[in-house]
Structure 1
Amino acid sequence: MTGGSNVEIEDCGDETYQLQIKSIKVTPDIVKPGAEVTLEVEATLSETVYKDATAQVTVKIGAVTLLRKVYDLCGTLENNKDKVDLQCPIEKGNLKITQKITLPKETPRGDFRVYVNAYNYDDADLACFKIHADFRQRFNGLLQLVSAGLVSWSDQSFSPSYYSSRTRVSNVEIEDCSDETYLLQIQSIKVMPDIVTPGAELTLEAEGILLETVTPGSFADVQVKLGVVTLIRKRFDLCDTLENNKDKVDLQCPIEKGNLKITQKITLPKEIPKAVFKVYVNAYTADEADLACIRIKVNFRPRRFLQLGNSY
């Protein structure tokens, strides 16, 4: 980082790229959670940008990939027209772009890297950016990231796990949000160890009754949030996910109806930031019948907390 800033932007394109960057300015120099940031870019565009231009975006914290997604450039500009003074088609020539971004207050401390590769409608190289944002300083700030794959279940008859005011019982709180109409009736859940920490291995043991056989085509909608910021929203094929993790979970499709016992080992990334994460899982059978509903809260902040009630 130079110039006292905690954000560094690198133009990784070369002379063959259609967007030739002249200058990039971020103000203020030190970005903070909840603050407004202004991005000013001056460049020369050698070809007009039309509909179907795309950007591939990868977000990492340390070695962990948090996001990998392809965006429609023109669609993104249209959806943010109140924040950026540019719309498609973007005519070739000199460009000056100003964009205002309000950063989420819940941004955790961490060392983030963002990689952006943009392409024109005909797949020609348009632009390449690398962004490094270091929020491990006392002036932490920016970006909306992070997730750790934690999956665990609890029966509604159980009290939620939480930090007590004097003794830390668990930093994982789980809610079974299904009802008697759901095909998976969860009876018990156990997560070991009680305190889940970055870089450690945890074991999940769950027992329940499955009322119908789970066949290929079953799926789960998963959402991961940090505060009000959505980090991941994705649909997973249940049977494919089990197959791809068969060395870690003792269950494969078809999952026959009847009594069910699941054991799964999960190794968490070391680079998980110190923050509170919420995971929402809604699972469905191949014919879209309700299978399960689970809500999970994991608190990685390293201090004693008051009891966590259901605050989903």
Structure 2
Amino acid sequence: MFSRVTILFLWSALFLYAYASGWEYVDCGSPSQPLRIDSIELSPDPPVPGQDLSVTVKANVTETIEEGAAAGVVVKLGLIKLVQKTFDVCEEARNANAPFTCPVQPGPYTVVHTVALPREIPKAKFLIQVRGLGDSLCLDLRINFMKSAASIFTSPF
């Protein structure tokens, strides 16, 4: 059985590998939500299957995030839900040795996390939805694993 941290970082690795094939994220929340994602950066860019990938997330917290805050993650392949889990944000941050502890005070934060990318990623289109309970976060990730990075350089003729 996978731990919650493993599942959380597995979906992170999957969506981040897709950058070479096409991925985007949308901060779908309102301007008044207490957690805003400013940017997500990758190194190396593009990611390389079978290698470590460093992910840098820059975010801004506008209201204190208290102990017990939760986020729901849904991973879909078409209409099929592959994963639907609710995570305790503070517990996951502690388990991942994040550079903050709860309660999280307002201000800018940068979190860097390294994940090992699997050598094989399914060729499919995924939608990953992250929702903070109480409208604290709304993040949608759209990933296209249908094309490989190598196909960019292949002549269609």
TM-score normalised per structure 2: 0.73
Cα offset, 1:298, TM superposition: 2.7
Partner residue, 1:172: 23
Cα offset, 1:171, TM superposition: 2.9
Partner residue, 1:239: 90
Cα separation, 2, equivalents of 1:278 and 1:200:
23
Report how many residues are paired: 140
Cα separation, 1, equivalents of 2:24 and 2:46:
11
1:252 aligns to 2:101 (yes or no)? yes
Contact 1:172–1:195, Cα closer than 8 Å, also in 2: no
Matched to 1:282, the amino acid is R
Cα offset, 1:201, TM superposition: 1.8
Q: Secondary structure at the match of 1:150?
A: helix
Equivalent residue for 1:149, pick from 7, 11, 17: 11
Partner residue, 1:263: 112
Cα offset, 1:220, TM superposition: 0.5
Return 5+ residue gaps in structure 2 as ranges: 3-8, 153-157
Two-structure CA RMSD over aligned residues (Å): 2.7
Q: Secondary structure at the match of 2:130?
A: strand
Return 5+ residue gaps in structure 1 as ranges: 1-57, 59-64, 66-146, 152-161, 306-312
| 1:129-187 deviation digits (Å, cap 9, x = unpaired) | xxxxxxxxxxxxxxxxxx94217xxxxxxxxxx98xxxx6x633111111212111333
Where do residues 175-186 of structure 1 align in structure 2 (5 Å cutoff)?
175-186=26-37
Cα distance 1:259–1:179, how it changes in 2: closer, same or farther (>3 A)?
same
Cα separation, 2, equivalents of 1:187 and 1:221:
20
Cα offset, 1:196, TM superposition: 3.3
Identity of aligned residues (%): 32
1:298 aligns to 2:147 (yes or no)? no
Contact 1:171–1:195, Cα closer than 8 Å, also in 2: no
Cα offset, 1:197, TM superposition: 4.4
Q: Secondary structure at the match of 2:91?
A: helix
Q: Secondary structure at the match of 1:231?
A: strand
Cα distance 1:203–1:196, how it changes in 2: closer, same or farther (>3 A)?
same
Q: Secondary structure at the match of 2:137?
A: strand
Matched to 1:300, the amino acid is F
Q: Secondary structure at the match of 2:38?
A: strand
Q: Secondary structure at the match of 1:291?
A: coil
Matched to 2:129, the amino acid is Y
| 1:179-234 deviation digits (Å, cap 9, x = unpaired) | 21211133333122333344332222222321111121100010001122110111
| 1:293-312 deviation digits (Å, cap 9, x = unpaired) | 1111233332547xxxxxxx
Where do residues 69-88 of structure 1 align in structure 2 (5 Å cutoff)?
none
Cα separation, 2, equivalents of 1:272 and 1:250:
30
Matched to 2:117, the amino acid is L
Contact 1:149–1:268, Cα closer than 8 Å, also in 2: no
Contact 1:173–1:296, Cα closer than 8 Å, also in 2: yes
Partner residue, 2:5: none
Matched to 1:252, the amino acid is T
Cα offset, 1:271, TM superposition: 4.3
Matched to 1:297, the amino acid is R
TM-score normalised per structure 1: 0.40
